[in-house]
Amino acid sequence: MSAPVLLKSSSGIQPVSIESKLMSDHRRLFITGEINADSAMDFFKQVMFLNLENDKAPISVFINSPGGEIDNGLLVYDAIVGSKAPIRTFCSGYAYSMGAVLFACGKERYLLPHSKLMLHEPLLGGKIGGNASSIKSISESLLETKRMMNKLLAFHTGKTEAEMDELTSYDHYFSAQEAVEMGLADGIKSFEEMMEGCA
């Protein structure tokens, strides 16, 4: 959360966070840093609030994230694709891993000229322990998650699941132009164009 700005009101000068001001006055939300349980639920509540306020006016989501936990990322995904108010996504910096998936699922998807995306297979963090059966179960679950993510990406890019499987088999980085060519984005916008596009 950034430092608050001071705004004058009938009750005097009040400190207000930039994020709150942009959300309430301009319907702009942000996905920044690692995606975890707290950030995912905060985003879910913000989308819910804006839909209750007006379910026809577009919502603009700015993403600058290395990704994060898949299960929590899928909560954000469900909020974006399930929102009655159309959600446009903007990559402002980089969107890696789950961040790239969330960027790709917007109704309209734009990158700043020097923004980048990165896709890869789901990763298993931490130490793995247990007997052969439990390790086999973990492996099968990871492969199922991989298939699900490739299916989602195929749907949003117009590519086949086999193509997405190949693209995510290693850390695959995309420049803004490459992201457009791959169907991950709809276009490239300058900062000025991005501001005009989400007004």
167: amino acid identity, one letter: L
Alpha-carbon distances of 44 from 41, 47, 77, rounded to whole Å: 5, 5, 9
User: Does the active-site annotation cover 190?
Assistant: no
Question: Which member of 120, 156, 169, 190 is catalytic?
Answer: 120
d(CA 76, CA 51): 15
d(CA 52, CA 135): 44
Question: Which member of 60, 65, 97, 115 is catalytic?
Answer: 97
User: Does the active-site annotation cover 97?
Assistant: yes
Taking alpha carbons only, the member of 50, 80, 78, 45 closest to residue 63 is: 80
Catalytic residues: 97, 120
